[in-house]
Amino acid sequence: MKPKKNLIAATMLAGAATALSFLSAGQAQAQGALVMYCGVQEEWCRAMTTAFERETGIKVSMTRKSSGEIYAQVKAEAANPRADIWWGGTGDPHMQAAEEGLTVEYKSPKLAELQDWAVRQWEQSKQRTVGIYSGALGFGYNTELIKSKGIPEPKCWADLLNPKLKDEVQMADPNSSGTAYTLLATIVQIMGEDKGFDYLKALHKNVNQYTKSGAAPAKAMALGETTAGIAFMHDIVTMVVDKAPVKVVAPCEGTGYEIGSMSIIKGAKNMDSAKKFYDWALTPEAQKLGAEAKSYQVPSNKNTPVPPQAPKLSEIKLINFDFAKYGSSEERKRLLSKWDNEVKNLP
Ligand code: PLP
């Protein structure tokens, strides 16, 4: 009896010790951990994760999603946030999250090194999101398909309505994709709301698929799965650099652009790590990783070299994009539900 009792006591002690060692490992991990929601291309997300882990020893758990999907997840998790930092993707859902109190104010010591447009994003969001890169919206086409189908090369937004492009244009769904929401806001700003929605309804006839991610149409063009596609110009450049038969177009009527953004989640469990990542992500060393991962946006730190492949914003007819208005919670919700009701469900 006695030895058995001792055995039980010893087993219990060993169990308690194991539980204790688990607890302390868990605590140590919590101090050196970061949960990141990443809104750019998977390759760039992975490069950022690896470099930050190497630089700081902080273990990063990264999830890649499209801009609108991250916003929806952050909102759903607000009572018990899983993520600490939201890095990348278009600025509009970051602005909406800021207004809805899902993210927190932070003033990085790196702010002084940033371009005016990046700082303006920070000011307009009451210090809750900051610009990390910028890039213009456009479209592209597969040069071989357009030639073989005898379709004139599109140069303007209006040209995408050519009946010869029926079922030949791909774009993303603006609910999930920041790229496609940028299109929605751009068309409304260029044409006015009524004419803009007429345009989007007419475009719907030529759309073969509304993809979840904004960069998907660029990849589909490169693979010859669609003749034309709407995307950020830098995402189409990535395909050109990979020698795909694709041409990038800056639309003749003018176009909108994005301010890719970064925010710290309210209630982040690893707040110190989130701030470390935030400061690091604004350095030229971190921002250079974009071009190395074949993402050719214009970086927000004035000292980060602009990749030579990046479409030159000064040479593109950019509209005076109203980021505060189109990033506001009310306007973003209103436009998305109008697009759902009046465009997406058309036959
Ligand atoms: N990937 C790149 C390279 C981008 O520039 C952007 C825009 O911020 C995104 C992804 C956003 O993707 P989505 O339209 O899927 O939200």
Residues 293-302 have a mean pLDDT of 97
Same domain, 143 and 113: no
* Residues 141-159, mean pLDDT to the nearest whole number: 98
- For residues 211 and 339, membership in a common domain is answered with yes
Determine the Cα–Cα distance for residues 85 and 165; give it in Å rounded to an integer. 41
User: Residue 343 has what pLDDT?
Assistant: 98
Host domain of residue 150: 135-256+334-344
Q: Are residues 269 and 211 in the same domain?
A: no
Residue 9 lies in a domain: no
Whether residue 67 has its Cβ less than 6 Å from ligand 1: yes
Q: How far does the centroid of ligand 1 lie from the alpha carbon of residue 29, in Å?
A: 31
| The pLDDT of residue 296 | 97
- Distance from Cα 61 to the centre of ligand 1, integer Å: 20
The rounded Å distance from CA 146 to ligand 1 centre is: 26
Average pLDDT, integer, range 231-237: 97
Confidence of residue 273 (pLDDT cuts 50, 70, 90): very high
**Residue 1 Cα, ligand 1 centroid: separation in angstroms?**
68
Which residue lies with its CA nearest to atom 8 of ligand 1?
89
Give the position, in ligand 1's atom list, of the atom nearest the Cα of 41.
Answer: 1
The Å distance, Cα 172 to ligand 1 centre, comes to: 11
Instruction: Indicate if ligand 1 lies below 6 Å from the C-beta of 229.
Output: no
* Same-domain pairing of 189 and 241: yes
Q: Is 295 in the pocket of ligand 1 (CB under 6 A)?
A: yes
Q: Are residues 202 and 265 in the same domain?
A: no
User: Percent of the chain at pLDDT above 90?
Assistant: 90
Q: Which of 21-35, 67-81, 229-243, 263-277 has the lowest mean pLDDT?
A: 21-35
**Residue range 153-180: mean pLDDT, rounded:** 98
**Does residue 179 share a domain with residue 127?**
no
Higher-confidence residue of 190 and 20: namely 190
Structural domain tally of the chain? 2
* Cα(145) to centroid(ligand 1), Å: 25
Residue 16 lies in a domain: no
Say what the pLDDT of residue 2 is.
Answer: 39
Distance CA 299, CA 305 (A): 8
191: CATH = 3.40.190.10
The rounded percent of the chain whose pLDDT value lies above 70 is 91
170 or 13, which is more confident: 170
Domain assignment present for 11? no
Predicted local confidence at residue 17, as pLDDT? 40
Cβ(168) to ligand 1 under 6 A?
no
Has residue 10 got a pLDDT over 80?
no
Mean pLDDT calculated for residue range 226-248 = 97
Helix axes 329-339, 178-191, angle to 10 degrees: 90
Same domain, 65 and 163: no
Q: Tell me, in angstroms, the distance from the centre of ligand 1 to residue 295's CA.
A: 10
Among 212, 232, 300, the mutation site with the greatest number of ligand 1 atoms within 8 A of its Cβ is: 232
Residue 68 falls inside a structural domain: yes
Co-location of 218 and 338 in the same domain: yes
Residue for token pair 């806001």: 185
182 lines ligand 1 (CB under 6 A): no
pLDDT interval class at 7 (50, 70, 90): very low
Answer whether 174 contacts ligand 1 (Cβ < 6 A): no
In a domain, 14, yes or no: no
Q: How many CB atoms lie within 10 A of CB 68?
A: 28
Residue 338 inside a domain? The answer is yes
**Ligand 1 atom, smallest distance to 214 CA:** 14
* pLDDT value at residue 31: 53
Please give the pLDDT value at position 297: 97
Per-residue pLDDT at 54 exceeds 70: yes
Q: Is 215 in the pocket of ligand 1 (CB under 6 A)?
A: yes
Whether 206 lines ligand 1, by a CB cut-off of 6 Å, is: no
Residue 218 lies in a domain: yes
Band of pLDDT at residue 13, cut at 50, 70 and 90: very low
Residue 20: predicted pLDDT: 38
The verdict on the CB of residue 40 being under 6 Å from ligand 1 is: yes
Q: Are 339 and 213 found together in one domain?
A: yes
Q: Which ligand 1 atom is the nearest neighbour of the CA of 235?
A: 3
Confidence of residue 156 (pLDDT cuts 50, 70, 90): very high
Tell me if ipTM is over 0.95: yes
218 pLDDT more than 70? yes
Ligand 1 pocket check for 41: Cβ under 6 Å: yes
Name the closest-CA residue to atom 7, ligand 1. Answer: 89
pLDDT score at 116: 98
* Same domain, residue pair 142 and 190: yes
Same-domain status, 143 and 66:
no
Is the confidence at residue 30, as pLDDT, over 60? no
Please, what is the average pLDDT of the chain? 92
Is 307 found in the same domain as 188?
no
Does residue 8 belong to any structural domain of this protein? no
